Amino acid sequence: MKRDSKKREKTEELTILLKKVQADFENYKKRVEKEKKDFTQFASQELIKKLLPLLDSFQLALADTKNLEDFKKGVELIYSQLWQILESEGLKPVEALGKQFDPYFHEALMQEESDKEEGEVIEELQKGFMIKDNVIRASKVKIAKKKQEKKEAEKK
């Protein structure tokens, strides 16, 4: 009986310890989730702060649309500012034109007979982008395929 009592005490002790560890783990998960949410919110806030001058520039450009040439220069300046902000965040374009098709970086929408090497990107239909080394949008491209008469000549 003494032995059963010790076993019961040990079981109760381990059960209490297990419940404490479970509670600690649940609290840890909640804390990590909150920190992740706070970090994401902070990162978004920082990007928005960087974009606010662009908003100001757009307001200035739209306030004076009488002179088309000045308006065009203003929009080009805004584009340049936006590109600089995005580059500072790690954005870079995917190189496509003249490159060999790579499904990790390119999405082939069309093929066209060409004198270029088969599989070479001959036209970029939509620019692709990467942040650091992660593709966030693949380039939509047209790729070269061999001309029909060349294929037939190779068969003979």
**Which structure tokens are listed for 80?**
């340049």
**pLDDT for the residue numbered 48:** 85
Q: Name the residue with tokens 């990162």.
A: 43
Sign of the C-alpha dihedral computed for residues 144, 145, 147 and 150 taken in this order: positive
Fold (CATH) for 1-89: Hemagglutinin Ectodomain; Chain B (3.90.20)
**Which structure tokens are listed for 20?**
């404490």
How far CA 127 is from CA of 40, 44, 103, 121, 139, in Å, comes to 27, 24, 14, 12, 5
Contacts (Cβ under 8 Å, ≥6 apart) of 63: none
Q: Domain residues of the chain, as ranges?
A: 1-89, 92-156
Q: For the whole model, what pTM was predicted? A: 0.63
Superfamily of domain 92-156 in the CATH hierarchy: Head domain of nucleotide exchange factor GrpE (2.30.22.10)
Query: pLDDT per position in the chain (156 positions), as tens?
Result: 677 888 888 898 889 999 999 998 999 999 999 888 888 777 778 888 888 888 888 888 887 778 888 888 888 889 999 999 999 889 999 999 999 999 999 999 999 888 888 889 999 999 999 998 899 999 999 999 887 765 555 565
